Amino acid sequence: MVTAIVIPILILYFYWVTKKEKAKQRQNWEMLDQVRLEARIYGTITYLHTEKKRYYHELYMMVTTIRMQSGDRTITAVYRQPFKQGWKEFNLHPGSIVTLEGQWEKDTFIAGSIKKS
């Protein structure tokens, strides 16, 4: 008798928790490319690589890794975007001069906007 009551309650509870977690992850995924623009770097791209990565279950993100020469130092920057149907790749190539705006996270620059100069 107890199992006839407890098991459906547990199933409903875990369904509710899972649905809530999925909504939270979707909201975070949609805001991937919204980074606080508190720093700006300028330089020439020496390496550019874009790859598709899994973010959460059926949600994917495109991660663009940029190495750029700025003065006498090399900076590694990462630009993350949610992978949606209308996603377009940047028209950037090694040798392009760009300005990146975003924030520092340890030794990596997290870009929020990329402007070609």
Helices marked H in the chain: 2-30
CA angle 89, 93, 96 (to 5 degrees): 120
Residue 4 confidence (pLDDT): 83
What secondary structure letter does DSSP report for 95? T
For residue 80, list its beta bridge partners.
63
> Tens of pLDDT along 40-76?
999 999 999 999 999 999 999 999 999 999 888 999 9
Residue 90 confidence (pLDDT): 81
Considering the chain, what percentage of its residues have pLDDT values greater than 90? 74
Q: Is the pTM of this model over 0.85?
A: no
Is residue 1's pLDDT more than 80? no
pLDDT (average), residues 80-87: 89
Residues 6 or more apart whose CB falls under 8 angstroms from that of 81 comprise 32, 33, 61, 62, 64, 87
What secondary structure letter does DSSP report for 111? E
